[in-house]
Structure 1
Amino acid sequence: RLLAFVALNGGRVERRHAAGTLWPSGDDLRAAGNLRSALWRLKAAGIDLLDSDKFALAMREHTVVDLYVLYGWAGRLIGGTATAQDLSALKWRTDALDRLPGWYDDWVLLERERVRQRRLHALEERSRELARV
């Protein structure tokens, strides 16, 4: 959940915001403790995708996040700069957009809808382009 939260928030988030959102019940100290525990469990599992300091968490510089790839693809279609590979890509099928299935936190639902809307906008642009041909 922690990795997903940081990734879905642009790859960088304040520790306090992450703790409060992921562990909303209870007080700030307990949420901060839960965050520290989650960070420790990630490291213990050999998952080294986050940089953290006293104030923030961030995805490591060269971490590839599929959501960012999707947004890049959609942005190129919307902006009219799509490559031949972008135009032939059917990798962004509807089922590929069901991020974090079974997760119903507000922050997940919001991002899931944002991704659907971005994809829809990109496909509408592609449809307009094909209709002109």
Structure 2
Amino acid sequence: MTTQAAYSIQLAEGKHEAARELLARKLDDYNNLNSGQPDNTPLDLVVSDPATGEVLGGLSGRTSLGVCFIDMLYLPETLRRGGVGSELLARAEQEARRRGCDNAVLYTISFQAPRFYEKHGFRVFGEVPCQPAGTSRYFMIKPL
């Protein structure tokens, strides 16, 4: 006897923020139940123009179960190579340690900033070739 499936699967075209929020909330609930500790906290640092308040760049990530995940770090060309990125990273690491994190992890693309992260104590623990040809994603970790 064949039973009809009580679900369907479709490719979600476009943005589905409500679905993403539901998935994140349900996964957090599952992880909290199984780890015994509710711990998935955003970690965002914003760089803004002091005169206008305009957001120029920043760092976005989260801390979860003793690990700091750095998802994005962006600065416009005018703020690069002047110590702002180093300050962002240091402030994120300081906050992660305050939250009890032992490690920070991130990934970067070969044309982005792997040398910057290595200069700050991160080391590559995985490399995945990607496109365009000759490009790789580097997965990096740093003990805090």
Q: Give TM-score scaled by structure 2 length.
A: 0.25
Q: Give the structure with the larger helix fraction.
A: 1
Higher RCO, 1 vs 2 (CA within 8 Å, ≥6 residues apart) = 1
Which structure is larger by alpha-carbon Rg, 1 or 2? Answer: 2
Q: Give the structure with the larger strand fraction.
A: 2
Q: Give TM-score scaled by structure 1 length.
A: 0.27
